[in-house]
Amino acid sequence: MSDLRKFVAPEFVFGAGALNLVGQYAANFGAEKILLVTDPGVIAVGWCDKVRENIEQSGASTMIFSEVTPNPKADEVMRGVDMYLSHGCDLIVAVGGGSPMDCAKGIGIVSTNRRHILEFEGIDNVTVPGPPLICIPTTAGTSADVSQFAIINNPVERVKIAIISKAVVPDVALIDPETTLTMDLYLTACTGLDALVHAIEAFVSSAHSPIFDVHAIEAIRLVHTHLLGVLEHPGDIGLRSLLMRASLEAGLAFSNASLGAVHAMAHSLGGYLGLPHGECNAILLDHVMDFNFVNASERYEKIGQAMAMDMRSMTTKEKKQAILNGIAELKMKAGISSSLGDRGTKIGDIPVLAEKAIKDPCLVTNPRQANKRDIEVIYEQAL
């Protein structure tokens, strides 16, 4: 591949209290009426009200759109567009995890391009940038606040589409670790492992680069070192900050290096069966690593080193097993022990899931080329 690489990232502010800058940034954009995109869970724990109060102190008014479900659906995006346009909004603020942020990205590009959200599927298909977008993540893992990806569910076809474009990179990300204090332990585990998957897939991606590698390796180190500590001490803002930084670093890496088979397969599971994205990633991770290892052994060894493994005296086969065991052990200690079968996937679903996964753009940069049967086998191993 060419050595040319482009690095895309938003302006971001990281640290406790970053959320309190939202009103100032809204004023900087000259916004008068803001669409707040969120979900009922974020409203329930109070973050939406805090953001709204901060914005309104700056002199702007807000409209709340909270009809966002996990794996955000195309019709939810289009309803958000109707609210944005009918109320004459001029800026979007997303508060929440990956679902509100991806929905907000979709609302933005549809509102300026006046085309259905599903027409933007693929790479660089957004002609006109959306209105200004400020993202405030409340989970440590999805990294939608810094990425050029928006993942939207087409419920009619039961498939997730990936919109990959510089136009969906937020203008500003206000990354405040305090917002993660309201996450429950299982969500903390799933999103933390989502960040780990982002980093691992970016590091072994066929589009990897030293520019992206530094962020990916640091994210791997941070998740491996601190995820279990956060689960043991969920109120420790210092540990929460380290996990939030891991999410940021992983996002900077995968937004530019792209992803791989784990995400292609997880998108298929989310679109077809509605399964939670972070959990699917965690379940699939070691099975995909096992498949990929032969084509990226040296890079997986560096991942093992970032996970504090001493493999100097091991054979390549022993190194592979040690790394896979390390991933499996981390998952188990984090409380993620389910299989795809436990989550309702059936053997009869696999051909359909594989057919959808091989069409996902994330598969393009997987380090080992995979055909439909390869994907089916990985799904079978994860059942």
Tens digit of pLDDT for each residue in 53-103?
Answer: 999 999 999 999 999 999 999 999 999 999 999 999 999 999 999 999 999
Contacts 24+ apart (CB under 8 A), 216-221: 216/249, 216/250, 216/253, 216/254, 216/257, 217/302, 217/303, 217/306, 218/246, 218/249, 219/195, 219/246, 219/247, 219/249, 219/250, 219/253, 220/196, 220/303, 220/306, 220/307, 221/306, 221/307
Instruction: Give Cα separations from 147 to 144, 173, 251 (angstroms).
Output: 5, 10, 6
Mean pLDDT of 155-163: 93
Mean pLDDT of 209-238: 97
Task: Return all residues near 169 (Cβ < 8 A) that are at least 6 apart.
Answer: 8, 9, 10, 146, 147, 148, 255
Map out the domains of the chain with their CATH numbers: 11-180 (3.40.50.1970), 183-382 (1.20.1090.10)
Return the pLDDT at 259. 97
Structure confidence at residue 5 as a pLDDT band (50, 70, 90): confident
What's the one-letter identity of residue 146?
V
Tens digit of pLDDT for each residue in 279-317?
Answer: 999 999 999 999 999 999 999 999 999 999 999 999 999
Q: How far apart are CA 263 and CA 131, in angstroms?
A: 28
Task: Give the burial class of 17: count Cβ atoms within 10 A of its Cβ; 0-12 exposed, 13-18 middle, 19 or more buried.
Answer: exposed
Percent of the chain residues topping a pLDDT of 90? 97
Tens digit of pLDDT for each residue in 100-134?
Answer: 999 999 999 999 999 999 999 999 999 999 999 99
Return the pLDDT at 1. 47
> Using an 8 Å Cβ cutoff, are 180 and 240 in contact?
yes
Structure confidence at residue 155 as a pLDDT band (50, 70, 90): very high
SS (H, E, C) the chain: CCCCCCCCCCEEEECCCHHHHHHHHHHHCCCCEEEEECCHHHHHCCHHHHHHHHHHHCCCEEEEECCCCCCCEHHHHHHHHHHHHHCCCCEEEEEECHHHHHHHHHHHHHHHHCCCHHHHCEECCCCCCCCCEEEEECCCCCCCCCCCEEEEEECCCCEEEEEECHHHCCCEEEECHHHHHHCCHHHHHHHHHHHHHHHHHHHHCCCCCHHHHHHHHHHHHHHHHHHHHHHHCCCCHHHHHHHHHHHHHHHHHHHHHCCCHHHHHHHHHHHHHCCCHHHHHHHHHHHHHHHHHHHCHHHHHHHHHHCCCCCCCCCHHHHHHHHHHHHHHHHHHCCCCCCCCCCCCCHHHHHHHHHHHCCCHHHHHCCCCCCHHHHHHHHHHHC
> Using an 8 Å Cβ cutoff, are 201 and 260 in contact?
yes
pLDDT higher than 80, residue 3 = no
pLDDT higher than 70, residue 49 = yes
Mean pLDDT for the chain overall? 96
Return the pLDDT at 299. 97
Structure confidence at residue 2 as a pLDDT band (50, 70, 90): low
Structure confidence at residue 4 as a pLDDT band (50, 70, 90): confident
Backbone torsion region of residue 158, taken as left when φ is above 0, otherwise alpha when ψ lies between -120 and 50, otherwise beta: left
Query: pTM of the full predicted structure?
Result: 0.96
pLDDT higher than 60, residue 30 = yes
Tens digit of pLDDT for each residue in 242-252?
Answer: 999 999 999 99
